[in-house]
Structure 1
Amino acid sequence: MVSKPQPHPANHEHIELFLDALFLESGSSDNTLSAYRTDLTKFSDFIAPMELPAVETQNVEQYLAYRVDIGLSPRSTARSISALKRFYQHLIREKQLRISPMETISRPKAGQSLPKTLSETDVEALLHAPNVEEPMELRDRAMLELLYATGLRVSELIGLRMEHINQNQAVVFVKGKGGKERLVPMGEEALDWLARYLKFGRPALVKHATDFVFVSKRGVGMTRQTFWHRIKHYAMLANIKSDLSPHTLRHAFATHLLNHGADLRVVQMMLGHSDLSTTQIYTHVANERLKSVHQAHHPRA
């Protein structure tokens, strides 16, 4: 039987020196000190056998993903983040560190709910549900593929104009919330289905001059509600039991990228999030990634 790695022997001393400083500087109560000791010890156990000053931001992100994965509350995680932030600020003051690994870590918003997402198997079933011999369903297949490949918001997807699509470079130009602009790669599969739709589907649907990429059966721009009803229709055809939301494929895009090793900041840029803390909520699904990281890097894996 493989034994569990033990915390670095210096970590206990690091924690106790921090708590002593906290008591002397702030006069923190015994309850506060005890709570901080518990939070820091749990983190030390998680990163074992690493020493606390050697921690990097990705280690903290993995710990936060683990906490959510085992069902700990956002309130508890917020307290743990506070303890870690104060601990690493202490190490910087003591000149044991130059940059805190907590610099880009934000506390979870109160009441922030976890996004509903789909497994990769469910996504495949959903993408294959439309009958692509029909122009309208070919349009829907292209929309679903593009949504999953890019992580666009539904409002961004239906608002796409022809000038926003660059098939040669396989990118989509998006103007998101607050007028913020970004370029998002669409990938070969989405590009292929988009090209098929533009060649065979869109000409059959367009009845009036329009520069919208995706048009309704009346030949005009689509509404969010129309596309949402289409998603629910295909979910029924694919026998998907999970509750869906209009942004389910956006959530799946983010979580599946993280599961396959994508950097959180890259996902943040592609989603158009201004704050990394908004993207961090997706780390709860990084179970597969955590397992692979452990197997690849832990000496006893």
Structure 2
Amino acid sequence: MFIVFTLYPILMSYVYSFYRWNGYGPLEEFIGFDNFIETVYDPVFWNAFKNNFIFMVVLVCVQVPLALVLALILNASWLKGSAFYRAIYFLPVVTTTAVVGLVMRFIFGAYKGLVNEVLIKLGLLDKPVDWIGSIDTALLIVIIVGIWKSFGMKMIYWLAGLQSLPKEIYEAAKVDGATAFHQFRFITIPLLLPVGSVILLLSAVNALHVFDLVKAMTEGGPAFATDMVDLYIYRYAFSSAGEARVGFASSAGIFYGIAVLFISLILGGLVKLTGGKSSPGH
């Protein structure tokens, strides 16, 4: 199963990238590195790459620390009904992304959209705004929805890390007169650093692949303002407007895969760097 559905397609994508091929018939027209050269010089590809990078940076910088704050609250012994709140915040994670995207199109829609209705009634807007139909706001809305959709998973990661910390250290710190802030600063943060590095790595890599949400919400529009590399590859591989270009799509996928690998190696180095620094400060 792994060979047929994973390994073979990956290997063949490298082969396809050297051909001008529409996905049907034998591989006949060998063009060498022409597909890669076209990818490098295509401004639409780099626009999609830029959008992907912005999505990743904003999502990680906003979602990861907010998820930690919420995990600290949900892990507190004084909070009643924490299991209920955990389920509520985790619910978007198990919701189908395509369904979420379609629902959000109505919520942020210009015509009788829920967001516009609420903002107009509050007096914050004079007239409806096409949130996902405007170049200025479409990417921001996609990022907000992306943060909300996967927020619960990061929260669970942080909770798992917090609940694995030895309670004896906190009890000893209390005996020594450490305040809650000092416990967080000198015990929680150092002990959570390795876990946080892994969460950062997983969040960044997952954020670089956001095809389903964008496809359902905006399909890359308006004017490629929310276009992502996964969607860019999909358009060329399974084009409904003109002939498909599987060879070119394969080259774009390989190029982007190398970029993702490079980012993963950088973040993976961070994980290794912090792996041995898990002892609390003095």
Task: Provide TM-score, normalisation by structure 1.
Answer: 0.23
Structure with larger RCO (C-alpha < 8 A, sep 6+): 2
Looking at secondary structure, tell me which structure has more helix per residue.
2
